[in-house]
C-alpha cells in the first residue's frame, strides 16, 4: 500500500500523431482562429483536447513575423502631424500646486513654450491647445 501511495503523479499522456495533425492543419489553414475556436472544431469531430495543449501545438506551426511598419517608420511618416501634450504638477517652495502644460511637436521634437496656471479651466486648456497650431502655421509660411 505504501509503495502505491509514494509513487509520483502519472506522466501526462502523449497525444497521438492522428490528433496533432488536425490541430496543426487547422492552425495553418485558418490563421485568424485561436485555440478556443480550434478546440470547438475538434469537439465537433469528437476529439477532446485542452485549450493549452492546442496552443502548444499551434506554436510549432505558426510563426508571427512582425507585421506592419516599425515605430520609427511611423514617426518618419506621420511625425509632422502629431502633437503630444501633458500636464505636469509643479509644487512651489510655499507648497502651492501649479500646473504646467507641455506641448511637443513630435516631428521636430520641438517644445512649445510652457504655460503655467494654478487653476486649469476648460477655456484655458483650449487656448493652450490652439496656440501651437498658430505657431506651426507661422513657421511653415
Q: What is the pLDDT of residues 105-134, one digit of tens each?
A: 888 888 877 788 898 888 888 888 777 555
DSSP string, 66-94: PPS--HHHHHHHHGGG-EEEEEEEEE-TT
Kindly report the pTM of this predicted structure.
0.45
112-139: b (≥16 Cβ within 10 Å) or e: beebeeeebeeeebeebeeebeeebeee
Rounded to 10 degrees, what is the CA torsion of 111, 115, 121, 124? -80
Amino acid at each position: 500500500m505504501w509503495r502505491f501511495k509514494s509513487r509520483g503523479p502519472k506522466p501526462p499522456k502523449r497525444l497521438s500523431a492522428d490528433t496533432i495533425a488536425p490541430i496543426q492543419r487547422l492552425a495553418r489553414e485558418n490563421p485568424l482562429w485561436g485555440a478556443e475556436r480550434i478546440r470547438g472544431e475538434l469537439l465537433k469531430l469528437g476529439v477532446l483536447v485542452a485549450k493549452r495543449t492546442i496552443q502548444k501545438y499551434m506554436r510549432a506551426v505558426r510563426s508571427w513575423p512582425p507585421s506592419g511598419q516599425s515605430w520609427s517608420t511611423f514617426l518618419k511618416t506621420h511625425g509632422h502631424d502629431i502633437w503630444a501634450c501633458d500636464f505636469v504638477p509643479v509644487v512651489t517652495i510655499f507648497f502651492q500646486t501649479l500646473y504646467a502644460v507641455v506641448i511637443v511637436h513630435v516631428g521636430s521634437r520641438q517644445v512649445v513654450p510652457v504655460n503655467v496656471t494654478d487653476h486649469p479651466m476648460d477655456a484655458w486648456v483650449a487656448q493652450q491647445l490652439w496656440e501651437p497650431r498658430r505657431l506651426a502655421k507661422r513657421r511653415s509660411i
